[in-house]
Amino acid sequence: MLLELLINFCILFTFAVLSYWPFQDVARSTYPFPKTHPYIIGIIAGFAGFVLMQTSVQLSDTIKVDARHVIIIFAGIFGGPIAPIVTGFIIGLTRMLMYDVFTTSGFLAGLNVIILGIVIGAFSFKYPMTFKNAPYYFYYATAQTVLLISYLFYQYSGTLLQIVYFILFSTFSFFMVLFILIELSGHFKKIRHTELLAETDYLTGVYNNRKFQQLTRSFITDSTKPFCMISIDIDHFKKVNDVYGHPVGDEILKELGERLKNLVSPKEGHVTRSGGEQFVLLIPNFPPAMGLDLGEQIRSSVERSSFNVSNNQEVSITLSVGVSSYPDNGSTIHELYSAADTALYEAKATGRNRVFHYTNIKV
């Protein structure tokens, strides 16, 4: 009996970890076709439930128990409301058809799992299953299953001790796997946080130069469509720091980063800080004219709206903006950045608070 229980637990544990890794660990991987995830998880859990039934613990000639009701809970955690319904039907129908001869106990056991899947799935639509509330779903599933086992024991003979064994095994299996998944979740969050720190500017929260290099390289490698690079520099920013202090300068940099993200996010663009008061934007699927127009929108919006900083002060700044385009102005990161930087310095040289495209100043 102990060996069968151990095998059941190992099967449950394997399903939980292998399902969590690709479907929940967004920090490390992105599984394709997200709309199919609930059905895929439901099918995988249903297959795992079938394997669990093959290693069930035989409590009597007609009664077998395992962790099939527990696996429905984890299917709901991973796949949402649809997954436990799919899992319940697969396991339930399989249980009914496992033997050539129809048995009442087999039918009731299968029906019990189907009902569990439907009820848990239905409640999950209103109360989405999480690590925090999953124990309540487990208590319900265990209570319903215990009632069925008690009824079958009454019909076919059995002992109270066997029911206690089932409750203890189910409780141990569920909470042990839940604990491990919570630990995995915390581990993945720490990894993602570390990755974000490695690619994010510490002050403004936008991407740093390392991420800028990665994004530009991926745009060049993966896309045949044009994109634009917009280099932005705050005019006379040293004077702002001298007059208002560096803390106020930092506040302006943070707010400018937020404003830029709000302007380019709807266009699926990315904001990076290359250093000091200079930002570089990458906008996919933008031909030169659209890049120039967006640069002007950014320049004019900042000129019109002052920055509210500490001590209720309002600080007005202007921007000089240079734009380059792929593939017109270069086919490498260095060429595109150099072109945008040249256009930026042309804007500064002609009076600042201006926008230039590299193509328009090319000799």
User: Any catalytic annotation for residue 296?
Assistant: no
CA 171 – CA 270 distance, rounded (Å): 48
CA 208 – CA 273 distance, rounded (Å): 5
Catalytic residue among 277, 314, 335, 346: 277
Torsion over CA: 206, 208, 213, 218 (sign): negative
Q: Residue by residue, what is the 3-state secondary structure of 286-349?
A: CCHHHHHHHHHHHHHHHHHCCEEEHHHEEECCCEEEEEEEECCCCCCHHHHHHHHHHHHHHHHH
Contact 209, 274 (CB under 8 A): yes
298, amino acid identity: I
258, amino acid identity: E
Got the DSSP string for 105-146? Answer: HHHHHHHHHHHHHHHHHHHHHHS---TTTHHHHHHHHHHHHH
Catalytic residue set: 277
